[in-house]
């Protein structure tokens, strides 16, 4: 998964340059024409699948001029979809963050039976189609669902309402923080925590002053990925939302509605905000990876 | 490590909270899908999941996912190779952009790909001159599934390629191997596990994908209708048990894939450590 990238980058980053130099200076590299053909083929492939579609989002958004673009964004339905997307992420991200820390603490610092089964179970949401993630909450909270009639009696709406959207968002982003923290905290061991304990720190003090500062970049990395997926989720949210304009539409759903109404300029205008969010996510992610690599190098130097 | 030697606090609290949250959010809701299908008799269940229109959707979903993952295996390996071994202008930005399919919401990817590959789009317009139609055909489904699986192979192969010792390649060269022999007999054997893992991850991701596909697919029954869309259609007709039956088929296949990917990674890592 993408999330293993930071951990993998840790020990190798400082040697990658070395490898490139060695490979090029010895008899172990390819002729120049092969090198450049491979680079060109790669760029062509990435252009067809990544760069051209990304540029298309912005050009389509601005096709009818900047005024139309702004009008599409300040439309009340667009604004309410932005608000709902922010609310869903603001609830889902912290909940999955707390879960990730708790799961990583139990799994990385203690030995117990069934640990590998637990790790696989935490991964389950990655293997579930977003559509099915929405479906299972309809089966429980929908009108014909397990608790459907109880909810009606108490006038609580989950499906086709905000709570369902939040639940579906939590489900699809469930493993991100935990997956990031577990290998990191396992690699760090528990010597520092035990030292803290001997010096009289309480459990919460150890968590706040030792463990969390040690894993802060991994934590941030997990939060960035969780947030990107939470704001962009489409399939799962689409099943539980009911598509009520101005009420239960998130930004991706609003994009779909506008698009199906052939209002392409407005659809791409809202989509361009989500594409900007994706670019900011990638920039932050690259920054965190760079910081982790820097820390690894400075640690290496301080040991020598 | 014996458990009684562990002096750190918080085991019961953290494990208890983990299990509670996991059960409430994931395990109990997922079990609802399996329990719901018991409302159907086996014959009813079988009739739903083997209906011709549903079978056609399996063929499209699994076939297109397989081809998309295959495309990603070839070009992902090439991309990883180029990013690790060569230097060219803009390399760092391109390296960062490889993760775009993870960060870009699938609905945005869907409408962007449709705009580019439809007959009046930038690339679609050009392909049409050669008689190739992408949007609203199975080819469009393959394009969308290639897009969303693109980072997996690159990101699994890249670290392995970075860790390769230059000395082994030098040894191969000094023993008279040409560059292609070194690549196919020395480099590729170490890359296979990562390549296979990346392929499996891209494939697993593709079979459940919905958002990026539905815009470009055109969703014609028997032609370009994917299985997740069948589930949605049945749900919208309030056929909950039928929708769930198809979902259970997909869940079982996805779980088998997840277990084999985890097993594969465990097996490769064991093999890796024992050889050192």
Token representation of residue A72: 């599409």
User: Residue A13: what pLDDT?
Assistant: 44
Query: What is the sign, positive or negative, of the torsion defined by CA atoms of B41, B44, B50, B54?
Result: negative
Interval A16-21 mean pLDDT: 53
- For B141-177, the DSSP string reads HHHHHHHHHHHHHHHHHHHHHHH--HHHHHHHHHTT-
**Could you report the per-residue pLDDT of A109-128, keeping only the tens digit for each?**
999 999 989 999 999 999 89
Residue B269's φ and ψ, nearest 5 degrees, are -70, -35
pLDDT category of residue A2 using cuts at 50, 70 and 90: very low
Nearest 5°: the CA angle B70, B76, B82 is 150
Give the C-alpha separation, A38 to A35, whole Å. 5
Residue B21 lies in a domain: no
Whole domain around residue B192: which residue ranges? Answer: 54-226
Q: Do B15 and A112 touch (CB under 8 A)?
A: yes
For residue B150, give the chain A residue with the closest CA: A49
Rounded to the nearest angstrom, the gap between the alpha carbon of residue B137 and the centroid of all alpha carbons in its chain is 21
pLDDT category of residue A28 using cuts at 50, 70 and 90: low
Is residue A75's pLDDT more than 60?
yes
Token representation of residue A274: 């989500």
DSSP A145: S
DSSP A147: T
Is CATH 1.10.3720.10 correct for A2-15+65-303? yes
Give the C-alpha separation, B276 to A114, whole Å. 28
Q: Do B107 and A255 touch (CB under 8 A)?
A: yes
Give the C-alpha separation, B85 to B72, whole Å. 19
Closest Cβ opposite residue B25 in set A57, A174, A231? A174
- Three-class SS state of A249: coil
Q: Do B122 and A128 touch (CB under 8 A)?
A: no
Token representation of residue B180: 């292609």
Kindly state whether B145 is in contact with chain A, defined as any CB-CB distance less than 8 angstroms: no
Nearest 5°: the CA angle A98, A99, A103 is 120
List CB contacts (< 8 A) between B21 and chain A. Answer: 99, 102
8 A C-beta contact, residue A33 and residue A207: no
Q: What is the helix (H) or strand (E) element at residue B267, kind and residue range?
A: helix B240-274
List CB contacts (< 8 A) between B272 and chain A. Answer: none
Domains in chain B, number: 1
For residue B181, give the chain A residue with the closest CA: A28
User: Residue B271: what pLDDT?
Assistant: 72
Domain of B133, CATH number, reads 1.10.3720.10
CA–CA distances in Å: residue B129 to residues A238, B10, B28, B50, B133:
36, 66, 53, 39, 9
Helices marked H in A75-161 — which ranges? 76-109, 115-127, 130-141, 148-153
Interacting residues of B175 by C-beta distance below 8 A, sequence separation 6+: none
Residue B44 lies in a domain: no
**Domain positions in chain A:** 2-15+65-303
Residue B220 lies in a domain: yes
CA–CA distances in Å: residue A50 to residues A56, B3, B64, B157:
10, 50, 19, 19
Closest to B21 measured CA to CA, from A274, A100, A186, A295:
A100
Token representation of residue B71: 């495309």
**Could you report the per-residue pLDDT of B57-83, keeping only the tens digit for each?**
999 999 999 999 999 999 999 999 999
pTM of the complete model: 0.89
Is residue A6's pLDDT more than 50?
no
- Compute how many other C-beta atoms are within 10 angstroms of the C-beta atom of residue A150: 11
Token representation of residue A119: 């790790």
Interval A122-150 mean pLDDT: 91
Is residue A21's pLDDT more than 80?
no
**Could you report the per-residue pLDDT of B94-141, keeping only the tens digit for each?**
999 999 999 999 999 999 999 999 988 899 999 999 989 988 899 999
Q: What is the pLDDT along chain B (276 residues), one digit of tens a residue?
A: 444 567 889 999 999 999 999 999 999 999 999 999 999 999 999 999 999 999 999 999 999 999 999 999 999 999 999 999 999 999 999 999 999 999 999 999 999 999 999 988 899 999 999 989 988 899 999 999 999 999 999 999 999 999 888 888 888 888 888 888 888 888 999 899 999 999 999 999 999 999 999 999 988 888 899 999 999 999 989 899 999 999 999 999 999 998 888 888 888 877 765 544
Q: Do A42 and B170 touch (CB under 8 A)?
A: no
Interval A43-69 mean pLDDT: 94
Interval A34-46 mean pLDDT: 94
| Rounded (10°) CA dihedral B69, B72, B77, B81 | -160
Rg of chain B in Å (alpha carbons)? 23
DSSP B10: -
For residue B109, give the chain A residue with the closest CA: A53
Angle between helices A32-46 and B52-85 (to 10 degrees): 140
Closest to B9 measured CA to CA, from A281, A211, A43:
A211
ipTM of predicted assembly, 2 dp: 0.90
- Compute the count of residue pairs across chains A and B with CB atoms less than 8 Å apart: 314
Give the C-alpha separation, A27 to A178, whole Å. 44
User: Residue B252: what pLDDT?
Assistant: 94
3-state percent helix, strand, coil for chain B, nearest multiple of 5? 80, 0, 20
User: Residue B168: what pLDDT?
Assistant: 85
Percent of chain B with pLDDT over 70: 96
List CB contacts (< 8 A) between B202 and chain A. Answer: none
8 A C-beta contact, residue A123 and residue B261: no
User: Residue B3: what pLDDT?
Assistant: 47
User: Residue A77: what pLDDT?
Assistant: 93
| Rounded (10°) CA dihedral A287, A289, A294, A295 | 120
Is residue A27's pLDDT more than 80?
no
From first CA to last CA, the distance across chain B in angstroms is 23
Between B3 and A93, residue with greater pLDDT: A93
User: Residue B5: what pLDDT?
Assistant: 67
Token look-up 């052939």 returns A262
Give the C-alpha separation, A116 to A258, whole Å. 45
**Could you report the per-residue pLDDT of A195-204, keeping only the tens digit for each?**
999 999 999 9
Q: Do B14 and A138 touch (CB under 8 A)?
A: no
HSE, CB side, 13 Å, CA atoms: give it for residue B95. Answer: 21
User: Residue A3: what pLDDT?
Assistant: 41
Mean pLDDT computed over every residue of chain A: 88
Helices marked H in chain A — which ranges? 5-25, 32-46, 52-62, 66-74, 76-109, 115-127, 130-141, 148-153, 162-172, 176-188, 191-198, 203-206, 212-214, 216-232, 235-241, 251-260, 264-303
Residue B77 lies in a domain: yes
Token representation of residue A301: 């130097």
Q: What is the helix (H) or strand (E) element at residue B208, kind and residue range?
A: helix B188-208
Q: Do B122 and A52 touch (CB under 8 A)?
A: yes
Rg of chain A in Å (alpha carbons)? 23
Percent of chain A with pLDDT over 70: 90
User: Residue A1: what pLDDT?
Assistant: 39
For residue A100, give the chain B residue with the closest CA: B18
- For B35-57, the DSSP string reads HHHTTS-HHHHHHHHT-HHHHHH
Is residue A107's pLDDT more than 50?
yes
User: Residue A44: what pLDDT?
Assistant: 95
Interface subset of B 150-169, CB within 8 angstroms of A: 150-152, 155, 158-159, 162-164, 166, 169
Q: Do B150 and A49 touch (CB under 8 A)?
A: yes
Q: How far away is chain B from the Cα of A87, in angstroms, using its nearest Cα?
A: 17
8 A C-beta contact, residue A64 and residue A265: yes
List CB contacts (< 8 A) between A228 and chain B. Answer: 102-103
């Amino acid at each position: 998964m993408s999330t293993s990238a930071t951990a993998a980058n840790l020990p190798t980053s400082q040697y990658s340059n070395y490898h490139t130099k060695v490979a090029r200076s010895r008899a172990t590299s390819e002729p120049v024409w092969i090198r450049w053909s491979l680079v060109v083929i790669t760029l062509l492939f990435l252009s067809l699948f990544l760069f051209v579609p990304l540029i298309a989002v912005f050009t389509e958004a601005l096709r009818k001029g900047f005024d139309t673009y702004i009008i599409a964004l300040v439309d009340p339905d667009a604004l309410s979809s932005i608000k709902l997307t922010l609310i869903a992420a603001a609830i889902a991200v912290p909940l999955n963050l707390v879960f990730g820390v708790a799961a990583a603490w139990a799994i990385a610092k203690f030995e117990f039976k069934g640990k590998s089964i637990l790790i696989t179970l935490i991964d389950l949401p990655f293997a579930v189609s977003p559509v099915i993630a929405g479906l299972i909450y309809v089966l429980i909270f929908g009108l014909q669902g397990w608790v459907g009639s109880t909810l009606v009696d108490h006038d609580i709406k989950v499906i086709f309402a905000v709570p369902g959207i939040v639940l579906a968002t939590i489900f699809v982003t469930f493993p991100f923080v935990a997956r990031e923290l577990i290998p990191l905290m396992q690699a760090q061991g528990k010597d520092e925590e035990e030292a803290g304990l001997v010096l009289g720190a309480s459990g919460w003090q150890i968590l706040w002053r030792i463990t969390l500062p040690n894993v802060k970049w991994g934590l941030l990395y997990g939060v960035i990925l969780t947030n990107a997926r939470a704001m962009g989720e489409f399939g799962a949210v689409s099943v539980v939302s009911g598509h009520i304009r101005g009420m239960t539409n998130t930004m991706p759903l609003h994009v779909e509605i506008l698009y199906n109404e052939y209002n392409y300029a407005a659809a791409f205008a809202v989509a361009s905000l989500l594409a900007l969010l994706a670019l900011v996510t990638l920039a932050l992610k690259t920054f965190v990876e760079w910081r982790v690599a820097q820390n690894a190098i400075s640690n290496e130097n301080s040991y020598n | 490590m014996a458990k009684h030697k562990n002096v750190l606090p918080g085991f019961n609290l953290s494990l208890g909270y983990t299990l509670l949250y996991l059960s409430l959010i994931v395990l109990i809701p997922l079990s609802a899908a399996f329990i719901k299908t018991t409302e159907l008799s086996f014959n009813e269940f079988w009739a739903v999941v083997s209906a011709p229109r549903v079978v056609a959707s399996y063929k499209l979903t699994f076939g297109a996912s397989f081809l998309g993952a295959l495309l990603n295996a070839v070009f992902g390996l090439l991309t990883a190779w180029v990013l690790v071994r060569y230097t060219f202008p803009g390399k760092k930005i391109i390296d960062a952009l490889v993760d775009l399919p993870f960060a870009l919401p699938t609905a945005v990817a869907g409408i962007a790909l449709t705009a580019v590959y439809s007959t009046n789009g930038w690339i679609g317009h050009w392909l049409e001159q050669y008689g190739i139609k992408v949007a609203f055909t199975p080819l469009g489904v393959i394009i969308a599934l290639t897009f969303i699986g693109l980072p997996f192979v690159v990101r699994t192969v890249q670290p392995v390629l970075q860790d390769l010792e230059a000395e082994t390649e030098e040894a191969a060269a000094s023993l008279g191997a040409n560059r292609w022999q070194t690549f196919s007999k020395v480099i590729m054997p170490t890359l296979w596990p990562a390549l296979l893992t990346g392929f499996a991850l891209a494939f697993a991701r593709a079979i459940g994908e919905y958002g990026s596909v539905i815009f470009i697919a055109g969703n014609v029954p028997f032609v370009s209708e994917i299985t997740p869309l069948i589930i949605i259609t049945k749900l919208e007709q309030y056929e909950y048990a039928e929708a769930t039956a198809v979902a259970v088929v997909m869940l079982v296949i996805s779980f088998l894939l997840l277990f084999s990917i985890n097993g594969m990674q465990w097996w490769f890592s064991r093999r890796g450590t024992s050889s050192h």
